[in-house]
Amino acid sequence: MPKERLILLSDCQSFYASVEKAAHPEYKDKPVAVGDPARMNGIVLAACPMAKARGVTTASRVGEALAKCPELIVIRPRMGTYIKVSLLISQIYHSYTDLVEPFSIDEQFLDVTGSLSCFGEDVPGIIRSIQEHVLLSTGVWTRVGIGPTKILAKMANNFAKKQKDGIFRLDYDNIGQVLWPLPVHDMFMVANRMARNFYHMGITTIGDIARMELGEFKQRMRTTMGKQSDIQAEYYWQTARGIDPSPVVTGMRHQVKSVGHGKALRWNLYTRLPEIEVVLLELVIEVCQRARRYRYMGAVVSIAVSETDGHKSNSYTRQMTLPEPSALTHEVAAAAYRLFVDNWTGMPLSRLAISISQLSDDRVMQLTLFEDRVRTYNRERAVDQIKTRYGSRALIRASSLLESAVALERAEQIGGHYK
């Protein structure tokens, strides 16, 4: 039997506020929040534990926070610095294992299965070493969830936050006693709308899902949400049971200049815009999904087109700069479509490729306060997560079922596309 994996989800406590407190020793014993001090109706992005103890909460208004805690020191955010510190913390994690996957600016997965022998198989020992290393280097305290899968490590982290030593382990022995009594709303990836669906189905706790047989749960989901809910049912059921075979994937953050994907086409099938639009969207979906996986977004969208009518051939590339860097499917697709329509001569297509370049760290977008974009982004990441676990066939746009779609065909080719 393969050795059970040992996965950590390490989360930085009050990340931006901790970075600022480390940079300003004079505020050591003062409540500190990060937000725009010039905009009273701006949002508090982070608050140190001392500020939280006085009622300051993340995402409240700066003015409200100051009303509750008049001595609060409000510091303007310095996103570039936070990203640098986050990358430094990645480097520290990399000194413990080569398998490090950023999940957000202040949360990263580490697979330390292979590192443990260097620490005399002492799990708390390796974690304390990581915590001390990060604290001494950056002034940031980390809390660590431990589990045999990423999903359990992630959910364990919520409990780690309540422990004095910031460490909690969730595994198949304690999941029933620790996780299952919690309201279903507390389960990973369950937002308000999904929680309402579950309540409607008579499901109130995580254990209500976990204790059901998968077939029964699928059936109940179908009754409430329709036939297409099977994949979601499987996702939530596995999550409730802590099942998650997806590996910790190290990003290639420093080597990549662009993320792109292309496809040779049977040109006699791609003669009209509606068919071409379908394949264009599929390519964009793949490009954006891969970019998000490595936490990139691109400022420039490029298309490479080859056309032929069987006699003459014609190839060209075109590119445009986006208003803002993006890895959002609808934004990249709109740009690629515009580029195509503006340049297409009308001949049938024999090849189409899409790429994004001038890459930057997508965590910058997470830090801007454009709620709609962040929400769309999170929704797309949710779909990515399902695809990572079940393969790219798991969720496919309805347009891909059209004859001109190549996504299904491609989904059957294993590993051929993400070299």
| CB hemisphere CA count around 141 (13 angstroms) | 14
Q: Which two tokens stand for residue 395?
A: 């969720």
Q: Is 389 helix (H, G, I), strand (E, B) or coil?
A: helix
Closer residue to Mg ion in complex, CB, 147/166: 166
What is the C-alpha to C-alpha distance for residues 212 and 396, in angstroms, rounded to an integer?
27
Closer residue to Mg ion in complex, CB, 46/322: 46
Closer residue to Mg ion in complex, CB, 168/236: 168
- Strand partners of residue 303: 318, 354
Q: Minimal distance in Å, beta carbon 144 to Mg ion?
A: 12
Q: Minimal distance in Å, beta carbon 14 to Mg ion?
A: 7
Q: Minimal distance in Å, beta carbon 142 to Mg ion?
A: 9
Active-site residue list: 107
- Report which secondary-structure segment, H or E, holds 167: strand 167-169
Closer residue to Mg ion in complex, CB, 103/390: 103
- Beta-strand ranges (E) seen in 65-166 are 73-75, 100-104, 107-111, 142-147
DSSP symbol at 347? P
- Report which secondary-structure segment, H or E, holds 352: strand 349-361
Closer residue to Mg ion in complex, CB, 156/322: 156
Q: Minimal distance in Å, beta carbon 164 to Mg ion?
A: 17
Look up residue 301 and give its amino acid: V
Contact 303, 284 (CB under 8 A): no
Q: Minimal distance in Å, beta carbon 163 to Mg ion?
A: 15
Q: Minimal distance in Å, beta carbon 18 to Mg ion?
A: 9
Closer residue to Mg ion in complex, CB, 106/275: 106
Distances 376 to 331, 344, 365, 371 between C-alpha atoms, Å: 11, 30, 11, 9
Look up residue 110 and give its amino acid: L
* Residues binding Mg ion (CB under 5 A): 11-12, 106
- Report which secondary-structure segment, H or E, holds 308: strand 296-308
**Position of minimal CB gap to Mg ion:** 106
At residue 364's C-alpha, the angle toward residues 65 and 193, to 5°, is 70
DSSP β-ladder status, 100-104 and 107-111: antiparallel
